[in-house]
Amino acid sequence: VKRLEDAHAALAGSRRGPGRGRRAGTGSSRRSSNGRRRGRRAGGGTRATQAQKLVSDNPGITIGELAKRMSITPNYLYRVMPQLEQEGKVRKEDKGWHAVGAEAGVE
């Protein structure tokens, strides 16, 4: 009976269900002691810079072509390219990407 009561108490206290609990330290909203989020900011890595340079050198390049030239899967670029667009570094035109501003040779 005690084991059943313990099991019931454990289930009643947890609304996540089996196998859905969070492990300590894995949440994406974890903050460091200074209040900032830990981890890299989207679009700020070396590959983002590499993608931006390839776009500048190859106006109209697609994500698939970028991925092949960078030897990576396109999944990363589908997240990074819109971020670079929000930052005003590239723009999408039809299926291709183009550099914006100084990167495009405009001074």
Note down pLDDT in tens along the chain; length 107 residues. Answer: 888 888 888 887 655 555 555 555 555 555 556 666 665 555 456 888 999 999 999 999 999 999 999 999 999 899 999 999 999 999 999 889 999 975 454 43
Strand-pairing partners, residue 93, are 96
Whole-number Cα distances in Å, 95 to 7, 51, 62, 91: 55, 15, 6, 11
What letter does residue 22 receive in the DSSP assignment? P
The model's pTM: 0.54
pLDDT score recorded for residue 96 = 93
CB-CB contact of 87 with 49 (8 Å): no
CB-CB contact of 54 with 70 (8 Å): yes
